[in-house]
Amino acid sequence: MSEDIRIVGIAGSLREGSYNRALIRAATELTPDGVRVSPFDLRGVPMYEASLDGDDKPEPVQALKDAISEADGVLIATPEYNYGIPGVLKNAIDWASRPGYRSPFRDKPVAIVSASPSALGGVRAQQHLKLTLLGMASAVFPWPEYVLAQASERVQDGALKDARSREMLGELLEGFAGWIRAVRTYGANAK
């Protein structure tokens, strides 16, 4: 089968050894046939400033919006900071959410995963992110949350090593590919 589904993977952390960056890296290895995950690095995306949000956007912002627009789906891996998503991820979403209700996120299938050294694995950040994405009319993947709790025990040298965690991420990606196909076929608002 040819690669017919393109997913952009966005980690909500800039830290090189980030557990969430490890999830995106693992996703590039675990995709089912016909699916490709391409990581997008948020480094360089400036703080949102409405006066810069015109025809001549900063290059990293335009690259982010293009990556989302050209993808069939978005996989976001978010850490949890103070019960919510980190500022770097919220900032990127704010840039990509413009213009309102006509952003690249509108009707775009989005899956959320998270990793954290805590026992909860970032589940509260996932809920925060889901609320934001639904407010932008994204087609949020209705799969049970993938949370990598105690990530420090499952990620080594920047790579997801735990076999069961890898298997579960692969299952999520397979389901997400099906969700993308369904949204393509029936639309994000099909009843």
CATH code of 138's domain: 3.40.50.360
For residues 43 and 27, what is the distance between their CA atoms, to the nearest angstrom?
A: 20
pLDDT at 3: 56
Q: What pLDDT digit, counting tens, does each position of 12-70 carry?
A: 999 988 999 999 999 999 999 999 999 999 999 999 999 888 888 999 999 999 999 99
In a domain, 42, yes or no: yes
Count CB-CB contacts under 10 A for residue 23: 26
CA 39, CA 71: separation in Å to the nearest integer?
11
Higher pLDDT, 176 or 56: 176
From first CA to last CA, the distance across the chain in angstroms is 29
Query: How many structural domains compose the chain?
Result: 1
Question: What b/e readout covers 42-59, taking b as 16+ CB neighbours within 10 angstroms?
Answer: beebeebeeeeeeeebee
**Within a domain: 135:** yes
Distance CA 141, CA 99 (A): 23
**Each residue's pLDDT tens digit, 109-155:** 999 999 988 888 899 999 999 999 999 999 999 987 899 888 989 99
Domain range spanning residue 159? 5-186
Q: Is residue 104 part of a domain?
A: yes
Q: Is 191 within the bounds of a domain?
A: no
